[in-house]
Amino acid sequence: MLRGGKPVERARMSDIALERIREAIVTGELAPGSKIKDSELAEYLGLSRTPVREALARLVDTGLVEAKPGAYTRITTLDRGDVEATLAVIEALDQLAVVTAVPNLTDEMIGAMRSANKDFAAAVKRNDIGRALTADDRLHSVIIDAAANPLLKKLIHQVHPQIHRIYYRKFSSLLGSQDSVDHHNKLIELCANHDAEAAATLSAEHRRHLGGLIGELFDADEFALSD
């Protein structure tokens, strides 16, 4: 007979550690390039070292953490080539999600998207980065869930934190404007009209627009480690 109690508990604690470390990376609490020790991180989080080590190993797979056995474990730097590659992947995944989701969207789902964008607009006005990104995630999660593709959802959730930490550091330059609110409104209306192709095209165009802005920030050396 299987005895799954302890492994389940370890997995749960590993998930908690993963979420908290990922959030610290996205918000910049753990800065790009900074070295980390699992013992110190475990003490800071109030967890044992085992789930922290497991979480760090999983974060290596996502590209948020890099490790050289016996030498260091550190938060990955904001590398332009890696960011551009991630943006290309996100653009493709978003298009697939939108095309797949739009035929499945209900009036209730469209209402949820409008509510999320209302909260997003209010957060942008207050320059509340955390609430803005949470509202943005809520809006796009409606589409991701409606796509009803577990693998697609997993892939999107895996790559989004790479870009979220850039959004968080340079929110006002990237998402902190009426442009993003207007984009959401246009996307919602296309979704409400069940125009999947136009909605996917708009989503891709917006991703490319953000990619261009991010490129300008790299050109201006706005992602220096001391930033």
CB 168 within 8 Å of CB 108: no
Share of the chain above pLDDT 70, in %: 93
Residue type, 167: Y
Note the pLDDT of residue 70: 81
The pTM of the full predicted model, rounded to 2 decimals, is 0.85
- Mean pLDDT value across residues 87-105: 96
- Cα 43 to chain centroid, rounded: 26
Q: Is the pLDDT of residue 225 over 70?
A: no
The Cα-based distances of 124 to 29, 130, 211 in angstroms read 21, 10, 20
Would you place residue 175 in the very low, low, confident or very high pLDDT band (cuts 50, 70, 90)? confident
The pLDDT of residue 9 is above 60: no
Higher pLDDT, 54 or 225: 54
pLDDT in tens, 181-216: 999 999 999 999 999 999 999 999 999 999 999 999
pLDDT class for 61, splitting at 50, 70, 90? Answer: confident
| DSSP labels, 140-194 | HHHHHHHHT-HHHHHHHHHHHHHHHHHHHHTHHHHTSSHHHHHHHHHHHHHHHTT
CA distances from 19 to 82, 95, 114 (A): 22, 26, 27
Check pLDDT > 90 for residue 149. yes
Top mean-pLDDT range of 8-17, 23-32, 116-125: 116-125
Q: Would you say 164 and 175 are in contact if contact means Cβ atoms under 8 Å apart? A: no
Residue 227 has pLDDT above 50, yes or no: no
